Amino acid sequence: MSKKLSIGLFGFGVVGQGLYDIIKTKNLNIEIVKFAIKDPNKKRSLPAELFTTDKEELLNNPEINTIVELINDTEAAFEIVSRALSSGKNVVSASKKMIALHLEELIELQHKHGTSLLYEGAVCGSIPIIRNLEEYYDNELLHSISGIFNGSSNYILSKGFIEGLDYDSALKQAQDLGFAETDPTSDVGGYDAKYKLVIAAAHAYGVIVPPDEVFNLGIQNLAAQDLQYAREKNLKIKLVPVAKELDERNVALFVLPKFVNETEFLYNVEYEYNGVTVQAAFADQQFFFGKGAGGHPTGSAVLSDIAALRYNYGYEYKKAKEKTDLKFTNNIELNIYLRYDDEGLVDALKFIDIKERYYSGSYKFIIGKVNLQNLIDNQHRISEGKAFVAFADQLTGVNLSA
């Protein structure tokens, strides 16, 4: 029999409102007792007595047995979640950055206090990838996970390929529609996708990797020449996070723009939609597709976690507890496309071999194999020099450096 959940909800923005709308339509034995908000003067659709600016009214309320955290402040979110777990309250969160930065500590808090933290809504919106990695694939050997984890950057890329908009115009449209923030760096720079990748990899491989050790390069330097090159080759450009098991001892994680061909599932994932491809030893290739952003899609994932708590569900982190020899590494080789102006950058990246090279008055590119560490060492130079880098291969071409 399910237990009644009395919820304290932090945040009443797009996702919080979406969650409330969904809960209203369902008979789930769930009650939202109190909402904690930042701005008490903002006009809201619910009675004022349901809202407070004092977090203690939720954290110290014995009537509340479940905290739902949906705010944008990473450190404040961690304080809320860690205090709730420590005081015996279960938690549902959609704060991917907070979870990725503090995952090891959050796992320990759950174990120590016998509480649960669920966060399906933090990774790929409505797509239930975490629960599938945790349950369906718990005894599966996973070769790789990759996909489109960020709807804002994918919206911009779709606008460029399908509608012919330049990067700045597409970004402006995304901002006007609320898909991208005023400062879009987290989305277009691959940081948002990286945080989601770190979380997914913990469930897929049992490796907990500090986000600052994972290389991410975004689409900020995308230019018309890059789009034209892709079109001529019948390719699309997508911002793709990758987790790949290289052998029984090493797993690699990175986020890069990728040339995607028409045989790949990701080729047809457009606008704010997300897609996740799982390559498994026994189940082979499987693909998950759904909306990655928005109040109702993310709200549905949050509600799924809340509903699971009625039956005392919690992540077991089986692969992390197995203590295998699998370790994270950046010592890999991969094929990239580099569009550049700075000849010195080509030398600095120390190409292992070169497959194609092109020069013209206004456009130079090179395609070849590099060590990921050389990209990491030259990340600032790539960004400042307005160079554009894309992964130009299939995942089978990503291998340990000799």
Residues known to be catalytic? 196
Q: What count of residues does the chain have?
A: 402
CB 145 within 8 A of CB 201: yes
By the 10 Å C-beta count (0-12 exposed, 13-18 middle, 19+ buried), 313 is classed as middle
- The token pair at 345 is 């950058």
Phi and psi for 184 in degrees, rounded to 5? -85, 10
> Tokens 């779709």 appear where?
158
CA 320 – CA 241 distance, rounded (Å): 21
CA 13 – CA 121 distance, rounded (Å): 14
Residue 76 zone, left/alpha/beta (φ > 0; ψ -120 to 50; rest): alpha
CA 94 – CA 301 distance, rounded (Å): 9
**Dihedral angle, C-alpha 200, 205, 208, 214, nearest 10 °:** -70
Residue 393's H or E segment, with its range, is: none
Residues 6+ apart with CB under 8 A from 170: 155, 156, 157, 159, 160
CA gyration radius, the chain: 22
CA 351 – CA 116 distance, rounded (Å): 47
Nearest by Cα to 143 from 251, 285, 244, 247: 244
> Tokens 């203690």 appear where?
56
CA 66 – CA 4 distance, rounded (Å): 10
- The token pair at 25 is 């339509």
> Which letter does DSSP use for residue 234 in this model?
T
Using DSSP's 3-state secondary structure scheme, residue 260 falls into strand
Q: Which residues pair with 327 in a beta bridge?
A: 250
